[in-house]
Amino acid sequence: MVFRIALVALLLAIPLSQSQAETMFGASKEQRFWAWFQQNEDSLYNFETDREAIFDKLHAELLQVYPTAAFQLGPVLDDGRRELILSADSNVSDFPAVEALYDAAPALPRWIVVKFIPRRPDDPLTTTEIGGKVFQTSQLRYLLDSAGPQVDLRIFVPNAAAYEKDDVRYLVFLTLHASLGEEDFALRVRRYSILDEMGDGYADSNEILGLADEFDAYFAEQRKSYH
């Protein structure tokens, strides 16, 4: 008891900046994260110097804010800023935590802070590598099935058996995020299945590049039916 009183007295005697005081006396977990981010901003901005270690540290700090933390750091843009995308990896239960962290962000002149993975309509045009094999993501095809206020998706992966199942799942997950954005994917897709070219409906399927337009048209019609 005497030790605790002495420690409190010592802390009160040390002059603290406002940010230090907030950190020691009741700062929110969001404030603590952003204080850490600002203290490490140079290394985060120049993450290419030690990508794996810096990403591990950033992820560890985010995990202290919410358990499904994910992020993306973008390239340096023409204006010298980078994007920091805060994500819950499509776990809807943690969407409020992402919102709270985004709302608590301080002014960061070198950063554009974004909540949730946005649509990247050009991403499905990219070539990627899964299981050591080159794959053109534009080869993916889809069918959209009505599920009332949501939709079900059938995603067709040509020659899917040639790849590891986990690699295919990850590829499809990333492609759906790029096509629809994290919020629409998490909130409006009830479920999705992954099939090969022998799967039911392949003959009627569409190129993945058309998914966003059909998805948006479907929900536009849904909104009309409610009025």
193 and 217 housed in the same domain: yes
pLDDT band at 9 (very low <50, low <70, confident <90, very high): very low
Model confidence pTM above 0.85: no
pLDDT at residue 48 is higher than 50? yes
Question: Is 167 inside any structural domain?
Answer: yes
91 and 136 housed in the same domain: no
Question: Is 227 inside any structural domain?
Answer: no
**11 or 54, higher pLDDT:** 54
Helix (H) or strand (E) holding 195: strand 189-195
88 and 139 housed in the same domain: no
How many beta carbons lie within 10 A of that of residue 116, not counting itself?
20
**What is the average pLDDT across 69-84?**
96
Average per-residue pLDDT for the chain: 87
149 and 213 housed in the same domain: yes
Q: How far apart are CA 215 and CA 146, in angstroms?
A: 10
Question: Is 43 inside any structural domain?
Answer: yes
What does the pLDDT read at residue 226?
66
Tokens of 202: 């392949």
pLDDT tens track for 85-117: 999 999 999 999 999 999 999 999 999 999 999
Q: How far apart are CA 75 and CA 40, in angstroms?
A: 18
84 and 182 housed in the same domain: no
Domain that holds residue 196: 123-222
pLDDT band at 128 (very low <50, low <70, confident <90, very high): confident
What does the pLDDT read at residue 227?
59
65 and 6 housed in the same domain: yes
Q: What end-to-end distance do the CA atoms of the chain give, in Å? A: 66
**26 or 52, higher pLDDT:** 52
134 and 104 housed in the same domain: no
30 and 97 housed in the same domain: yes
pLDDT at residue 16 is higher than 70? no
What does the pLDDT read at residue 222?
86
Q: Tell the residue number behind the tokens 């270690």, with chain if given.
A: 53
Q: How far apart are CA 45 and CA 57, in angstroms?
A: 13
Order across the sheet with 70-73: list the strands: 70-73, 82-87, 111-115
b/e burial code for range 26-57 (CB count within 10 A of at least 16 → b): ebeebbbbbbbbeeeeeebbebeeeeeebeeb
Return the ∠ at Cα 100 (arms to 98 and 105), rounded to 5°. 95
Q: How far apart are CA 173 and CA 167, in angstroms?
A: 10
217 and 129 housed in the same domain: yes
